[in-house]
Amino acid sequence: MTDTTAPPEYRPEESFARELDRGDELAPYRDAFHLPAGPDGEPLIYFAGHSLGLQPRRTRDLIERELDDWAELGVLGHQRAAHPWYSYHENFRESGARLVGAEPGEVVMMNSLTVNLHLMLVSFYRPTPKRYKILMEAPAFSSDTYAVRTHLRHHGIDPDDGLVTIGPRDGEHWIRIEDILGLLDEQGDRIATVMLGGVNFLSGQLFDMRRITAAAKSHGCMVGFDIAHAAGNAGLRLHEWDVDFAVWCNYKYVNAGPGSIAGCFINEKHAVDTERLRFGGWWGNDPESRFKLQLIPKYQPVPSADGWQISNPPIFAMTPLLASIALFDEAGMPALRRKSERLTGYLEYLVDRMPGGRYEIITPRDPAQRGCQLSLLVHENARECEQALEEAGVICDFREPNVIRAAPTPLYNTFHEVWRFSRVLSAVGG
């Protein structure tokens, strides 16, 4: 247990949680989602938005409309569908940019996260005999590590030599910004590409992407982020921070469905450079010559993020994103962040009040250094705790050997759910 002194804005009574919900400006958005229910028909406590967001109610209608257009129009749907398929990806040019703090033309929705990471490494990892290393955090999400290590091998570089990692200090749970900056000072002239998570998947730490980018660029590094746990969760300013590239999935906080289309940000100074190395495909080609096929065999990339597309848009994978991303424009990230900070602050307060020291919060205490995820280290009987949460109708996440990741998300979770979740934890530790 750390600090049991109640902040003035929090109280432990159930009535207080309900009071917070009555004053919640975002409360109506809960009704915009399908909520998983238990055997009694009551909604489960769904704190797993860091793994898979919930389905917006409008999704089904949008998918059925595309099915109807396919049935009624066939190939003509590319031009005549309600949202023409030929230019479907353009539906996200502005909304996708707003989601991550970019300019129109810097964001394209395509592929999956790891495929996009591979494509970005083709363009933004260009090793030289002196500058050939890639910097990642530890632990990083395994798929990112697999991608980076295979690119190192592709260039004939031993991954154990080419991969530089930075993790928490001994006895700590998140990475100090001064350690990242210090490592860049020491090895920056040998690091070709910085590839960090925007939010660490395990600890929930939100990295200071602005400071990291500035420091890395002062040493001549390319800078990219996996923002899978940051998109739709944190206020991002990728263009303003001068990030070179970023990749993310849209099935977590953005709520676009399992395996949904992913996102990719490419800074406009690179996006307009049609000579930058990339893997080509016909949907990245200039639309003016895209269907001239054999008449113009030379690849002519679009001078925007669209120029990294390889295949035509997968309509049924993109359609749920139309439903979900609209909710972020309606609610606005400032309001979402305000509620997120209160949800995690309230959960933090309730966990700190639990006696016995069974749970330790391993997510930064500073709200500016986290999103809506709190990770709890369970010091004893971790599996018993996991089982008790499941039996109580709580869906969150358990990471071996003893970490619970709980994400009360502002679009559809309530303060009363946070209170109920804390009661289950207390009962297990009692």
The string of pLDDT tens digits covering residues 31-63 is 999 999 999 999 999 999 999 999 999 999 999
The amino acid sitting at 263 is G
pLDDT tens-place string over residues 164-218:
999 999 999 999 999 999 999 999 999 999 999 999 999 999 999 999 999 999 9
Buried b (16+ CB within 10 A) or exposed e, 101-117: bbbbbbbbbbbbbbebb
Residue for token pair 């008449």: 295
Q: In this structure, are residues 46 and 39 in contact, taking their beta carbons and an 8 Å threshold?
A: no
List, in sequence order, the alpha helices (H) in 244-332: 268-271, 315-331
The CA-to-CA distance between both ends of the chain, in Å, stands at 14
**Residue 262 buriedness (CB in 10 A; 0-12 / 13-18 / 19+):** buried
pLDDT tens-place string over residues 220-235:
999 999 999 999 999 9
Q: What is the mean pLDDT of the chain?
A: 95
Bridge partners (DSSP) listed for residue 280: none
Q: In this structure, are residues 140 and 205 in contact, taking their beta carbons and an 8 Å threshold?
A: no
172-179's contacts with Cβ under 8 Å and 24+ in sequence apart are 173/203, 173/362, 173/363, 173/375, 173/377, 174/200, 174/203, 174/205, 174/362, 174/363, 174/364, 174/369, 175/137, 175/200, 175/205, 175/207, 177/207, 177/208, 177/211, 177/212
Closest by alpha carbon to 305, among 270, 329, 277?
270
All structural domains of the chain, each given as residue ranges with its CATH number in brackets, are 14-32+332-429 (3.90.1150.10), 63-329 (3.40.640.10)
pLDDT tens-place string over residues 247-293:
999 999 999 999 999 999 999 999 999 999 999 998 998 888 777 76
Distance CA 258, CA 251 (A): 6
Buried b (16+ CB within 10 A) or exposed e, 137-176: bebbbeebbebbbebbeeeebeeeebbbebbbeeeebbbe
The amino acid sitting at 77 is G
Residue for token pair 């009040």: 353
pLDDT at 289: 79
pLDDT at 297: 78
SS3 category, 174: coil
Residue for token pair 């998109």: 231
SS3 category, 108: strand
Question: CA-CA distances (angstroms) from residue 373 to 189, 206, 259, 383?
Answer: 34, 10, 21, 20
Distance CA 430, CA 428 (A): 6
Going by the DSSP 8-state scheme, the letter that residue 152 receives in this structure is: H
